[in-house]
A and B are shown apart, each in its own frame.
Chain A
């Protein structure tokens, strides 16, 4: 079932949380709502579920306006952040809940529950109570419960937030496989870029109540639409400068742009270079600037170099693969020359709202 959200606004006690969100989720897609805390992603999910009513705008499921329908009438599966399992019910009773309140025949309920428990690989634990389960198992019970009535939309709020790193890894892959099997239109909320990229078909980047960009993980990473997206996805070196035509300037440093920013006249701008798109040379090359090595941090497959470049206003980070790093044999105190392979520039907006700085993330 497709989801269409048009110009949805929502405020809590006069604090705007969503400022005109428009979003399409095609049938059968798995979409991640990604953004820092306080960007409105959970509120948007709750509006889709019907747990919260939008102040303005509309929500359509399969083209049908559901704004007036309660959560109960929408037949949407929801997995809550803290699972929200019924503590006094066994795993089996939890999963059967939606079928029992619908007064489905007993045999049908039993068969469906058994099927779901096999699906989430918990058939051996059906008599347990939630507090006797591990976090990952609880999460799977919550998922089985949400899928009981075969909803055509599945919503997940920070589904792996409360789990430890290894379980999270496993569950992510498992959720992806499950989605490929069931093809239920799914939306999940996360603040973890890695999680969004690994699981989702498409990523919706949200900031301060607005959608900043929608695209596949590769698209949003390679072609970020705004300074916010650039900064939110992965490590980045950010400089303040200005842009004119196809050149960017940072403190008198003249940087050539690969993809020209659309600034016909001189404008203040954010200039970004990702650490892995910064080459380190022993000798100056065209377009390079000088820096001195402060620290060399081996991170496994890559090596992170922390440098200080007074020319661009301070600390800079670069990332090299191990081979290149070995070839350079950098040591703290060395003077090197940095040449950006790719520079991205976003003209500064006067009305910039940024939940990254607002929430001190």
Chain B
């Protein structure tokens, strides 16, 4: 193989890579390392006491737990919505399709207020749930609900194209070979969807982890119970404790990075198995 063929049709590897690295540095890496640097001004011991305080630990648990739960719920719910949108033609489909993106466009505070109004103890739905003994607002459940709301489009928009890419022959082949509907779904359709679903999961999870605006209204922000980690950062900032805020943010950053890296590896693995590479 000649060098020309290996380099591909479009030249400019050096230029584009150089630009990419520079861009990533300016926009992502430098601000992020500033966060880490800022927190280092505290000194190890002080930083540790901020980062590992019981209140902070409780907030990590809530943030990561609720984000994971919300992303998981989105994979199921979003997968279902994507299925309906991709597979069926019904009146009002275009409207539903447009509605899906609304959580992206809405200022997060607006969604927070709206959710609280509906699910609060006196809200339309919250009232009845309260009567049934389920408390949504001012509880971890409410936090998860808000995070599910803002993460929904990610899964739908990643899974939908895969479902729309039509190869009815494959499903017919499974039926002819004797597979039941469930077997066709589980053995044929699901493995093809998995890489996209994992991407959607990762995006929804990352978004939920950083989410702040929509959560603060519905969570009630009770320390140790319904206080999310980003809020803890905000609280520190409001007390002009920049270094403490940066320390907690660094923990959030590190943990998110590790988790996302793991999800990406998983995704690469399923993608290789699904043969999309």
- A residues contacting B by CB (< 8 A) are 49-51, 70-72, 74-78, 80-82, 84-88, 97-98, 100-102, 129-131, 145-146, 148-149
Q: How far is the CA of A200 from the CA of B275 in the complex (A)?
A: 36
Verify A149–B178 contact, CB threshold 8 A. Answer: yes
Pick out which of these stretches binds chain A: B22-30, B121-129, B187-195, B221-229.
B187-195
Contact of B275 among A75, A84, A130, A149 (CB under 8 A): A130
Name the distance in Å between B167's Cβ and chain A's nearest Cβ.
7
Q: How far is the CA of A50 from the CA of B276 in the complex (A)?
A: 31
Number of interface residues of B (CB under 8 A): 21
Verify B176–A102 contact, CB threshold 8 A. Answer: no
| Beta-carbon contacts under 8 Å, B131-187 to A | 167, 169-170, 172-180, 183, 187
Asked if B265 CB lies within 8 Å of chain A CBs, one says no
Contact of B169 among A84, A97, A148, A149 (CB under 8 A): A84
Verify A71–B179 contact, CB threshold 8 A. Answer: no
Q: How far is the CA of A100 from the CA of B183 in the complex (A)?
A: 10
By a CB distance below 8 angstroms, the chain A residues around B275 are 87-88, 129-131
Between-chain CB contacts (< 8 Å), 17 pairs: A49-B176, A71-B172, A71-B175, A78-B172, A80-B172, A84-B172, A87-B192, A87-B276, A88-B191, A97-B187, A98-B177, A101-B179, A101-B180, A101-B183, A101-B187, A146-B177, A149-B177
Q: How far is the CA of A131 from the CA of B271 in the complex (A)?
A: 13
Verify A84–B187 contact, CB threshold 8 A. Answer: no
Name the distance in Å between A274's Cβ and chain B's nearest Cβ.
38
Verify A88–B178 contact, CB threshold 8 A. Answer: no
Verify B191–A102 contact, CB threshold 8 A. Answer: no
Verify B274–A88 contact, CB threshold 8 A. Answer: yes
By a CB distance below 8 angstroms, the chain B residues around A72 are 175-176, 178-180
By a CB distance below 8 angstroms, the chain B residues around A145 are 173, 177
Chain A residue at minimal CB-CB distance from B190: A88
Contact of A75 among B178, B179, B191, B276 (CB under 8 A): B178
By a CB distance below 8 angstroms, the chain A residues around B169 are 80-82, 84
Verify A97–B177 contact, CB threshold 8 A. Answer: yes
Q: Which of B172, B191, B273 has the most CB of A within 10 A?
A: B172
Q: How far is the CA of A251 from the CA of B182 in the complex (A)?
A: 67
Verify A51–B172 contact, CB threshold 8 A. Answer: yes
By a CB distance below 8 angstroms, the chain A residues around B177 are 97-98, 101, 145-146, 148-149
* Known A76-B176, A86-B187, A97-B187; further 19 A-B contacts with Cβ < 8 A: A50-B176, A51-B175, A51-B176, A71-B175, A71-B176, A78-B176, A80-B172, A84-B170, A84-B173, A86-B173, A86-B174, A87-B275, A87-B276, A88-B192, A88-B274, A97-B174, A102-B178, A149-B177, A149-B178
Name the distance in Å between A252's Cβ and chain B's nearest Cβ.
55
By a CB distance below 8 angstroms, the chain A residues around B183 are 101
Contact of B167 among A50, A71, A74, A84 (CB under 8 A): A84
- B residues contacting A by CB (< 8 A) are 167, 169-170, 172-180, 183, 187-188, 191-192, 273-276
Verify B176–A86 contact, CB threshold 8 A. Answer: no
Name the distance in Å between A313's Cβ and chain B's nearest Cβ.
46
Q: Is the interface of B mostly helix, strand, loop or mixed?
A: helix
Q: How far is the CA of A131 from the CA of B170 in the complex (A)?
A: 15
Name the distance in Å between B193's Cβ and chain A's nearest Cβ.
10
Chain B residue at minimal CB-CB distance from A98: B177
Verify A80–B173 contact, CB threshold 8 A. Answer: yes
Q: Which 10 A-B pairs have the closest CB atoms?
A: A84-B169, A98-B177, A84-B173, A87-B275, A88-B191, A88-B274, A101-B179, A78-B176, A80-B169, A71-B175
By a CB distance below 8 angstroms, the chain A residues around B274 are 87-88
Q: Which of B174, B177, B183, B191 has the most CB of A within 10 A?
A: B177
Chain B residue at minimal CB-CB distance from A97: B177
Q: How far is the CA of A84 from the CA of B168 in the complex (A)?
A: 9
Name the distance in Å between A68's Cβ and chain B's nearest Cβ.
16
Verify B175–A70 contact, CB threshold 8 A. Answer: yes
Name the distance in Å between B267's Cβ and chain A's nearest Cβ.
14
Name the distance in Å between B81's Cβ and chain A's nearest Cβ.
24
Chain B residue at minimal CB-CB distance from A78: B176
Q: How far is the CA of A99 from the CA of B136 in the complex (A)?
A: 48
By a CB distance below 8 angstroms, the chain A residues around B172 are 51, 71, 78, 80, 84
Q: How far is the CA of A131 from the CA of B176 in the complex (A)?
A: 22
Chain A residue at minimal CB-CB distance from B173: A84
Verify B178–A101 contact, CB threshold 8 A. Answer: yes
Chain A residue at minimal CB-CB distance from B188: A86
Name the distance in Å between B202's Cβ and chain A's nearest Cβ.
20
Chain A residue at minimal CB-CB distance from B270: A88
Name the distance in Å between A100's Cβ and chain B's nearest Cβ.
8
Verify B179–A97 contact, CB threshold 8 A. Answer: yes
Q: Which of A81, A129, A148 has the most CB of B within 10 A?
A: A129
By a CB distance below 8 angstroms, the chain B residues around A80 are 169, 172-173
Name the distance in Å between A286's Cβ and chain B's nearest Cβ.
58
Chain A residue at minimal CB-CB distance from B191: A88
By a CB distance below 8 angstroms, the chain B residues around A101 are 174, 177-180, 183, 187
Q: How far is the CA of A86 from the CA of B273 in the complex (A)?
A: 11
